[in-house]
Amino acid sequence: MARPVEIPPDPTEAVEAAKAEVPPELVAQSLGEYVRAWIVRMRGGEIGVLPVVFGLVAIMVVFEIISPNHVFLSPGNLVNLFEQSSVYMVLAMAETFALLLGEIDLSIGFVGACGAVITVQLVQPVTTNWPWWAAILAGLAFCAAVGLIQGTIIARLGIPSFIVTLGGFLIFNGVMLILLLLGPFSGYPNLTSASSNVQVLFNLMSGTIDPTISWIVMAVVLLGLGGLMWFGDQRRRRSGLVAPPASLTLIKIGLIAAAGFTVVAISNINRANFGTLAGVPWVVAIVLGVLAIWTVLLERTKYGRYVYAIGGNPEAARRAGINVAMVRTIAFGLCSMTAGIGILLYASYIGGMSNNVQGGQFVLFAVAAAVIGGASLFGGRGKMIHGVLGGLVVGGIYNGMYLQSLDVQRIFIVTGLVLLAAVTLDAVSRRGRASSALGAGR
């Protein structure tokens, strides 16, 4: 229930002006009110994930119509699309940590690549032959350490993140090339060994979860998530706290359930030309796992609250007693570590690492994906889910144009245009917000 507006001493004040800004779920008592409030809010410049969802639908419709034999929405291509997008999704989630602080990390492509090369080198049976999990931990630890060092330079010495990570971009491009030359493959360490230990890494991307188990896991996750949402909102409604109407909670749960069913159903259709290939790819579970953990960190812990606070007003955060330098340093560590996961997925996708890794392009696509998804370049606004949705858009464009056999130049141009559109939307909606806040102050 929303806080009632009781006998305001001066009823003329601000209430009208503030209306456009208030998240609709806070004041709406019923679904109808909610929808109306939502429309008002969108006119006021608060747009949320709606543009990116529309964008996704548009991409699907357009490419399905123009793709040869309408393969874009075929189960095989959809799973492939998700696998391709997963790298962008995870990298966009990584970049979100920097964007939330109002910073940027240009180095994540090559830092992540260094981590992935380390992992791939360490599992080689003829040399170190580390167990896969230890090799992954070593690669991610390397990434996290690099991020912490860059973060320390940015936060303690006050050097702009753009410059520090530009240096990191060049340094770790070089480091990656050196690391690649180590080991038996001289430049092209790969994951094509028969060793089951190495196969685990190969299967991060293309390995599938058994269809039956996929259904069971999805049901358990949905029941858990839905239960948490329903009983959480129910409890808040009962104790008179701000909560959305019950029908809205149900709709949200329904949408999540529908998405889950669709993904599992599509993945469980046999998508092989010969034989059987069905089941949810492991990468889906990995991306959702990263999403879940980072979402909890950002929205349910003190640390996450401080990240948003620093992105919104660093001086206020400092006066509130928050160790601003520490929070920023850790954010860069988490950013680089998450990037390590992203490029590891890429290594799994192409079956090894080589000097073909486009570290710079990865960074740009990661920033693009996060911003297209709805994170702000100016700090303080954005969620992990934005990175995932934006990654799907970038991956969707890439995949769809690839199916058209369009060359890479055109793909770059289209992705760039979509990014420009997203940033313009961000800037324009900010201006809308600023002017309505000014109006409220009058």
Partner 1 sequence: MSGGPTAATEPLLRVRGLDKHFGPVQALYQVDLDLPSGQVTALCGDNGAGKSVLTKCISGVYQPDHGQVFWEGQPVHIRTTRDASRLGIETVYQDLALCDNLDIVQNMFLGRERLRRELLDEDNMERAAAETLASLRVTTVRSIRQPVASLSGGQRQSVAVAKAVMWNSKLVIMDEPTAALGVNQTRMVLDLLTRLRDRGLAVMVISHNLNDVFEVADRIAILYLGRMVIQDKASSLDRQRVVEYMTTGGKGMKAAS
Beta strand 280-281 with 208-209: parallel, antiparallel or unpaired? Answer: antiparallel
- 167 vs 312, which CB is nearer to partner 1? 312
Question: How do the residues of the chain divide into helix, strand and coil, expressed in percent and rounded to 5?
Answer: 75, 0, 25
- 68 vs 441, which CB is nearer to partner 1? 441
Closest CA to 236 of 25, 404, 402, 378: 25
Contacts of residue 372, defined as CB under 8 A and 6 or more positions apart, other chains included, come to 52, 55, 389, 390, 393, 394, 418, 419, 422
| Residue 436 CB, nearest approach to partner 1 (Å) | 8
| C-alpha atoms less than 13 angstroms from C-alpha of 78 in its C-beta half-sphere | 20
- 223 vs 320, which CB is nearer to partner 1? 320
Distance CA 257, CA 223 (A): 9
Distance CA 270, CA 216 (A): 18
**Residues of the shown chain interacting with partner 1 in the complex, contacts defined by CB under 8 A:** 2-3, 5-10, 12-15, 17-23, 26-27, 235-236, 239, 241-242, 296, 300-302, 305, 308-309, 311-313, 315-317, 319-322, 380-381, 433, 436-437, 440-442
| Residue 201 CB, nearest approach to partner 1 (Å) | 32
- 77 vs 429, which CB is nearer to partner 1? 429
- 17 vs 141, which CB is nearer to partner 1? 17
| Residue 227 CB, nearest approach to partner 1 (Å) | 17
Distance CA 369, CA 363 (A): 10
| Residue 241 CB, nearest approach to partner 1 (Å) | 5
- 27 vs 257, which CB is nearer to partner 1? 27
Per DSSP, the three-state class of 124 is coil
The position carrying tokens 């929405």 is: 73
- 379 vs 395, which CB is nearer to partner 1? 379
What are the distances in angstroms from CA 368 to CA 263, 339, 361? Answer: 25, 15, 10
| Residue 386 CB, nearest approach to partner 1 (Å) | 14
Closest CA to 290 of 83, 90, 140: 90
| Residue 130 CB, nearest approach to partner 1 (Å) | 32
Distance CA 427, CA 420 (A): 10
| Residue 314 CB, nearest approach to partner 1 (Å) | 9
- 275 vs 441, which CB is nearer to partner 1? 441
On whether the CB atoms of residues 49 and 374 are closer than 8 A, the answer is yes
What tokens were used for 178? 């050196």
Enclosing H/E stretch for 280: strand 280-281
| Residue 165 CB, nearest approach to partner 1 (Å) | 24
What tokens were used for 289? 């796992």
